[in-house]
Amino acid sequence: MKNPWEKITLETYEKHMSLDSVQQLQALERMMQKQLTDYDTETAMILGIAGGNGLRSVRKEQYRKVYGIDINEHYLRAVRERYPQLSGMLECLRIDLIAEAEKLPQVQLVIADLLIEYIGYAAFQRAVQQAAAEYVSCVIQINTDAAQWVSDSPYLHAFDGLDAVHHQMEPSALTAAMRGIGYQNILTESEALPNGKALLRLDYRKS
């Protein structure tokens, strides 16, 4: 059975995420700029890269290798086409993080934004352990009201299939899961969204 993310077009995803009432694409780009530059790392891996939002912040003077991981080959093709200036540095890999974590390369920094919600804590632990990263930077969605977890929009029903794979995130549970594989929380930052939700950045360092 195909993963629901393989059925959602990139155009639909990005139009939904960038709506004035959602603004998650814009917020994630700001947050990823800091994720990519806050640490002295020269290799990084972005799990769930989608269309490559945030890659404009990759500095060639800092990074020698950046991996983009996604289960949707169409997303990865779009990333390659959008960022030809990163050719030779950026490598896009289609990997099912739940079933194929052993295929992940090792890097110094793992970035996972709005990704753990769709694979769960245990699969994320396996991915991080395989990557053997010194730093892990995550962004999870926090619902601060009674709204549904997918924001209302004209594209809402394109995401109906995600109910089957969605996991509700709790910051304390994520930190406990990371502590269980030897990582300590070193940063917590939040950015409010216009629809009663917030994006929470949680960074960890290997003990």
Check residue 157 and give its pLDDT: 60
Count of domains observed in the chain: 1
26 or 20: which leads in pLDDT: 26
pTM for the model stands at 0.92
Which of 145, 141, 133, 127 minimizes the C-alpha distance to 202? 141
Q: What are the tens digits of pLDDT across the range 158-200?
A: 677 787 788 889 999 999 999 999 999 999 999 988 877 899 9
Show the domain range for 56: 4-206
CATH at residue 149? 3.40.50.150
Express each pLDDT in 59-82 by its tens digit: 999 999 999 999 999 999 999 999
Question: Which pLDDT value is given to residue 150?
Answer: 58
How far is Cα 103 from Cα 17, in angstroms, rounded to an integer? Answer: 29
Distance CA 1, CA 7 (A): 11
Quote the mean pLDDT of the chain. 91
Rounded to whole angstroms, how far apart are CA atoms 72 and 10?
9
Please provide the DSSP assignment of 54-92 as one string.
TGGG--TTT-SEEEEEES-HHHHHHHHHH-GGGBTTEEE
Looking at this protein, which amino acid is placed at residue 126?
R
